[in-house]
Structure formats: structure tokens, C-alpha cells
Amino acid sequence: MRISFDGAGPAAAAVRFTGLPARSERPLSAAVTEVTLDGGRVVTVKRGDGRHAVRAEAAGLRWLADAGAVPVPALHGHDEQWLVTDRVPEGRPDPRAAVALGRALAALHAAGAPAYGAPPPGGPADAWIGLAPMRNTPHDDWPCWYAEQRVLPYLRSAVDAGTLRASEAAVVERVCERLPELGVPVEPPARLHGDLWNGNVLWGADGRAWLIDPAAHGGHRETDLAMLHLFGCPHLDHVLDGYQQAAPLAPGWRERIGLHQLFPLLVHTVLFGRGYAEQTLAAARSALAL
């Protein structure tokens, strides 16, 4: 039986972008709704959280898909408020899928980007990572770009909010000053997922690992892998084995994980408070010990 839905809601967005009538909808969170269409097809409808957020995510999904490396949900369409993609039927984490994910990530990164900080084609410069704004302005020097666009803006916000004290911020500022000498290898800009934590990896019922919710941009490939370490990932050792088989990382990459985690940790400090400030300081001190 076909059901009439509010013309401004998620089911209406699914109908508009797929051309199929909707039969039911099921909220998964405050921002995400699962909609079942005629014929049994199921799509995910996501509400945008900020200006340009939907356009940035849609451009990121297209850019990742264009690499032909890692599975991402098919994009049906979007507007300023809604983004509609295929739902990924979920399975269980699997070591073989983890190895394949590592190889796929290596191929995704190797697809490259025009510059560090380059947005996906058609994506806005003013993008988002989760609920935090993120500026994508191309730069040809990774240490300068990482400090100016990925560390210092969030550090200033944390200090302004009183989440980090000025004396603590000085530790992070010293890392930024020393970035050129901390051993990060000079590599071409990689095509990054950009928000690669465990929650954005879906283990599909088809035996593959899928990526969702990108904050895609050009960056250093070690940053994506450092994010996977931040909150844990099933079979992470297998992911890394697959990656190293396809594209070995430069010596010392494990010691640089904290350096690359400064960006997401500061984002979390701004969004969620003091609990992440201590982790940020620990990561900064580990970077200064390189």
C-alpha cells in the first residue's frame, strides 16, 4: 500500500530523487531516515546540518566513487536540505573484508587530488566535518596547510570557548611551528575520505566494507589512517596489512599517528568539550617527541 507523506519530509525527498513511490519510513537518528520504496528498494535520507553541508557530502561521495576504489552508497540526488543514497545492508566485520578495505584505501589515496585542501569537484570551499565547519582552500605545502587550515582554526575556537587554556594551546602551537621538521614524508596530495573513523565504515552484508559520510578533500594519506586508529576499527591490523601490501607507508608512520590525530581531536574538543582536550595535549606531546 502506498502512503501519503509530508511533502517536506524525508520520504518526500526520497520520492523526488528516485522517482519511486514511498511505502514506509523509519527514523534511524535525528538526521537520518530509512525509506522503503515500491519494489522493496530501501534508501537512506539524511538531513543536512549546516549551510553547504549536503552539497559538500554529495560532492565527496561522487569524488570517492569516481576513484573506482572503495565502495560508497549510490547517490540518488540532493538539495540544500536532503541527501538520498542507497542503504547499505549491514553484515559483520570480517578479516578478509578488512584486508580488501586496506587495499581499496590505498587505491583511493593514489587517485590523488589537485592540492592539499582541494575540495571535491563541485564541492564548496566552506564544508563540514561532522557538525564542525571545515575550510577547503588549496595549498601546495602540507605543513603550512595542515597548521593553518586543520589545526589552528580549531585550536583558536577551543581557547575562545575556554575548553583549552592558553598555556595548553602553546604546546599545540609549538607542534605547528615544528611541522616541517617532524618527518612527515613529502608525498603528492591524496584523495582522502576525510572523516575516516569507525562509525563511517559499514561492514556490508555483501562481504565488503563501505564508506559513508565523507568530509573529502586533498590531504596526506597518513591522516586517514590515523583517524582509523583514533576510535578503534574492527580488524584494524588486517586493514593496515592490506594497505601496506598495496602502498607501503614511509618508515616512522606509527610514531606520527598522534600528529595526524591533532586535527580530529581538536574538532572533538570544540564540539564535545574538555574530555578531548587531554587527548589533544597527549597527541601534541607525542608529536614533539618525534
Cβ proximity of 35 and 57 under 8 Å: no
Full 3-state SS string of the chain = CCCCCCCCCHHHHHHHHHCCCEEEEEECCCCEEEEEEHHHCEEEEEECCCCCHHHHHHHHHHHHHHCCCCCCCCEEEECCCEEEEECCCECCCCHHHHHHHHHHHHHHHHCCCCCECCCCCCCCCEEEECCEEEECCCECCHHHHHHHHHHHHHHHHHHHCCCCCHHHHHHHHHHHHHHHHCCCCCCCCEEECCCCCHHHEEEECCCCEEECCCCCEEECHHHHHHHHHHCCCCCHHHHHHHHHHHCCCCCCCCCCHHHHHHHHHHHHHHHHCCHHHHHHHHHHHHHHCC
Collapsing DSSP to helix, strand or coil, 175 comes out as: helix
Cβ proximity of 195 and 130 under 8 Å: yes
Q: What pLDDT is stored for residue 2 in this prediction?
A: 54
**Rounded to 5 degrees, what are φ and ψ at 208?**
-115, 160
**HSE, side-chain direction, 13 A CA sphere, residue 236:** 13
Q: What pLDDT is stored for residue 290 in this prediction?
A: 85
Cβ proximity of 24 and 35 under 8 Å: yes
Q: What pLDDT is stored for residue 50 in this prediction?
A: 67
User: Digits of tens for pLDDT over the chain (290 positions)?
Assistant: 455 555 679 999 999 999 999 999 999 998 999 999 999 999 999 998 766 899 999 999 999 999 999 999 999 999 999 999 999 999 999 999 999 999 999 999 999 999 999 999 999 999 999 889 999 999 999 999 999 999 999 999 999 999 999 999 999 999 999 999 999 999 999 999 999 999 999 999 999 999 999 999 999 999 999 999 999 899 999 999 999 999 999 999 999 999 999 999 999 999 999 999 999 999 999 999 98
Q: What pLDDT is stored for residue 1 in this prediction?
A: 47
Place of cell 587495499: 103
Task: List domains and CATH numbers for the chain.
Answer: 10-86 (3.30.200.20), 95-288 (3.90.1200.10)
Q: Which residues pair with 35 in a beta bridge?
A: 25, 43
Q: What pLDDT is stored for residue 52 in this prediction?
A: 84
CA proximity to 122, closest of 21, 54, 176, 22: 54
**Rounded to 5 degrees, what are φ and ψ at 242?**
-60, -40
Q: What is the dihedral of CA 15, 20, 21, 27, to 10 degrees?
A: -50
For residue 282, what are the contacts with CB-CB under 8 A and spacing of at least 6? Answer: 258
Whole-angstrom distance, CA of residue 30 vs CA of residue 110: 35
Whole-angstrom distance, CA of residue 72 vs CA of residue 209: 9
pTM of this prediction? Answer: 0.95
Cβ proximity of 142 and 184 under 8 Å: yes
